[in-house]
Amino acid sequence: MIQLIFEIPEAVSLKDKRRIVKSLIGRMQNRFRMSAAEVDLQDSLSFAHIGGAVVSNSRVFGESVLNKALKMIENEMAVRIQDVKIHSEEF
């Protein structure tokens, strides 16, 4: 599981923010085949809180997918990441 809190400096309206967040979530879902959603800060103009999850039979593979998603966000999206948490569990 990954949780990100990030700033969206170019958003001047909630509509701008939603467009950027929706694009980010879509990229995470399409490129990495993971579940993703905006989980908090929906009414904040300049900040967003995104959560994502991958289910795998390999902890190493799951964590590598989450780290690749984080690198994609850092390199391709016009956001400033404030906080990141990556958590794995085995059953």
Model confidence pLDDT, tens digit, residues 34-58: 999 999 988 888 999 999 999 998 8
Backbone angles phi, psi at 22, to 5 degrees: -65, -40
Query: What does the block give as tokens for 14?
Result: 């909630």
Residue boundaries of the structural domains of the chain = 2-86
Q: What pLDDT, on a 0 to 100 scale, did the predictor assign at position 8? A: 92
Specify the higher pLDDT residue, 25 or 42.
25
CATH of 2-86, one of 3.30.70.1120, 3.30.70.3450, 3.30.930.10, 3.90.1150.10: 3.30.70.1120
Question: CA dist 37 to 5, 27, 50, 90, 91, Å?
Answer: 12, 12, 6, 22, 24
Question: Can you tell me which residue has the tokens 């001047």?
Answer: 12
